[in-house]
Amino acid sequence: MKISIIGHSSSGKSTFAKRLAQVYNAPVLHIDKIFFAPNWVERDRDIVQDEIREFMNQETWVIDGFYRRLATERFDQADQLFIFDFNRFKCLYGAIVRRLKYHNQNRDSVCEGCKERLNPSFIWWILFEGRNKASRLKLKQMKEMYQDKAIIFKNRKQVNAYLTKIGYQGPLNYE
């Protein structure tokens, strides 16, 4: 099984990826973990692209994150595409909860040295910049292009119902 998960920042994609990986016994790649170096510095995009492509050579995988450069190739290979299309305020709430939980710590879905943060620029990203016209258009294109393999979630209740349906036995709260 090859699974790709995309969507808005702080919507719960990484937690969902870990849960799917557990159910399907598949390795998981959190793109944020390889896209950023310590202190949230972006790494060379060619190196990131090579690492994603190498990961995709496996028979099964779960990949969490958009990273547009390999999006079409990744989605073409995926058996299932999950799109987290939550409203911006639910995502902001998710970022606040995550910030409180991981205050001055690292999450396992990001590079070591990337402490959890919620600064004005990230809030702006969640509410506006990450949802600019080009981003909305790209997400719409993905929904249309991959409608035969895409499952679109609008809220956590839908996510939890899906996890229950596929036999996930763990907790349903989100990080």
The answer to whether residue 175 sits within a structural domain is no
Q: Domain containing 25: what range?
A: 2-165
Structure confidence at residue 70 (pLDDT): 65
Give the integer Cα–Cα distance in Å for 117 and 169.
Answer: 30
Structure confidence at residue 21 (pLDDT): 95
Q: What angle is formed at CA 19 by the lines to CA 23 and CA 49, rounded to 5 degrees? A: 105
Structure confidence at residue 172 (pLDDT): 85
- Classified as helix, coil or strand, 166 is coil
CATH number of the domain residue 57 falls in: 3.40.50.300
Q: Count the Cβ atoms, other than its own, within 10 Å of residue 18.
A: 18
The answer to whether residue 33 sits within a structural domain is yes
The answer to whether residue 85 sits within a structural domain is yes
Residue found under tokens 């596929």: 166
Give the integer Cα–Cα distance in Å for 140 and 142.
Answer: 5
Helices of type H across 102-145: 120-127, 133-145
The answer to whether residue 171 sits within a structural domain is no
Give the largest Cα separation in the chain, rounded.
41
Total structural domains in the chain? 1
Structure confidence at residue 73 (pLDDT): 86
What pTM, to 2 d.p., does this model score?
0.91
Question: Residue-wise pLDDT tens for the chain (175 aa)?
Answer: 999 999 999 999 999 999 999 999 999 999 999 999 999 899 998 999 999 999 999 999 999 998 776 678 889 999 999 999 999 999 999 999 999 988 888 888 888 888 888 999 999 999 999 999 988 888 888 899 999 999 999 999 999 999 999 999 988 876 5
